[in-house]
């Protein structure tokens, strides 16, 4: 389900072993993806009172929303007892967050799993997502991953905040993660600037080449 303008990409599939309908979004890969990332302006969200979301992430979701909903509803008709989950890394995590809110408001319960996702909206937005009874939210962040600290929060202008709680991976890169290595916190200490940390969540999470990783590092340094 690729989009034409922002190059957001993902898929909807069924897992018959675990009885899941899975919606997954790819992280940032193209220049169009990064244009969506750096569009820090916020706009009102129609399905949530007082909520404002990141304009670029919202545009990325809006481009694929109809296709996602149609595919999920078709899968539910075929597998009515399957649970719906939505997931993504980086930009994909931000899209998954917006998608979870949109699906929950049309009475599609969905559990949300994000990895290294940036902030996607204001406090009202985060409260809405954290407080809904239409699914659980699991926001996973790796130690020293700078991306979850973005966009920067500017009171009144860009009051970005995260969905709570945070599942904070305390170990470094290239290390197998155990349950003891994950702490549930309001927000972890992510003062680092390690792009490798953004690409390591339980395993290497990016198939991008080294040159792209370097471009990502430079982009993050410019934005932070």
Residues in the chain: 224
Give the pLDDT confidence of 173-189 residue by residue, as tens digits: 888 889 999 999 877 66
Check if 145 is active-site. Answer: yes
pLDDT at residue 31 above 50? no
Give 194's pLDDT tier (boundaries 50, 70, 90). confident
Q: What pLDDT is attached to residue 81?
A: 98
Residue 88 is inside which H or E element, if any?
Answer: strand 83-89
CA distances from 58 to 44, 137, 158, 176, 209 (A): 10, 18, 15, 34, 27
What does the mean pLDDT of the chain come to? 84
Which residue is associated with the tokens 């670029």?
56
pTM, to two decimals: 0.85
- Residue 33 pLDDT grade (very low, low, confident, very high; cuts 50, 70, 90): very low
User: Do residues 129 and 137 lie in contact, with contact meaning Cβ atoms separated by under 8 Å?
Assistant: yes
Q: Tell which wins on pLDDT, 171 or 196.
A: 171
More reliable by pLDDT, 219 or 69 = 69
Active-site residue, selected from the candidate residues 89, 120, 137, 145: 145
Distance, in Å, from the CA atom of 220 to the CA atom of 16, rounded to the nearest integer, reads 39
Burial-class residue 155 by CB neighbours within 10 Å (0-12, 13-18, 19+).
exposed
Residue 99 CB burial class (10 angstroms; 0-12, 13-18, ≥19): buried
Which one is predicted more confidently, 95 or 3? 95
Section 53-58 average pLDDT: 91
Please indicate whether residue 8 or residue 196 has the higher confidence score (pLDDT): 196
Q: Is 44 a catalytic residue?
A: no
The sign of the dihedral angle between the CA atoms of 202, 203, 206, 210 is positive
Instruction: Give the whole-angstrom CA distance, residue 34 versus residue 163.
Output: 22
What is the average pLDDT across 211-223?
47
**CA neighbor of 190 nearest in space, from 142, 155, 222:** 142
Higher per-residue pLDDT: 62 or 30: 62
Query: Please, are residues 112 and 129 in contact by the beta-carbon 8 Å criterion?
Result: yes
CA–CA dist 120, 97 (Å, integer):
8
Residue 91 φ/ψ, nearest 5 degrees: -55, -35
Active-site choice (90, 120, 137, 206): 90
Q: Is 3 a catalytic residue?
A: no
Helix (H) or strand (E) holding 97: helix 91-105
More confident residue, 165 or 34: 165
Q: Which of 93, 164, 86 is nearest to 130 (CA)?
A: 164
């Amino acid at each position: 389900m690729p989009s034409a303008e922002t190059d957001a990409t993902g898929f909807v599939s069924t897992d018959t072993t675990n009885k899941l309908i899975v919606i997954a979004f790819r992280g940032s890969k193209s220049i169009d993806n990064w244009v969506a990332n750096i569009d820090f302006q916020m706009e009102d969200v129609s399905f949530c009172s007082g909520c404002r979301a990141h304009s670029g992430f919202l545009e990325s979701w809006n481009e694929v929303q109809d296709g996602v909903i149609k595919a999920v509803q078709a899968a539910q008709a075929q597998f009515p007892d399957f649970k719906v989950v939505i997931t993504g890394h980086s930009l994909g995590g931000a899209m998954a967050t917006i998608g979870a809110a949109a699906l929950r408001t049309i009475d599609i319960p969905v559990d949300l799993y994000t990895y290294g996702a940036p902030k996607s909206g204001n406090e009202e937005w985060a409260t809405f997502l954290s407080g809904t009874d239409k699914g659980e939210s699991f926001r996973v962040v790796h130690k020293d991953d700078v991306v979850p600290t973005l966009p920067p929060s500017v009171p009144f202008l860009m009051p970005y905040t995260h969905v709570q709680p945070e599942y904070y991976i305390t170990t470094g890169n290239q290390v197998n993660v155990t349950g003891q290595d994950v702490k549930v916190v309001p927000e972890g200490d992510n003062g680092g600037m390690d792009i490798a940390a953004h690409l390591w969540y339980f395993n290497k999470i990016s198939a991008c080449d080294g040159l792209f990783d370097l471009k990502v590092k430079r982009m993050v340094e410019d934005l932070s």
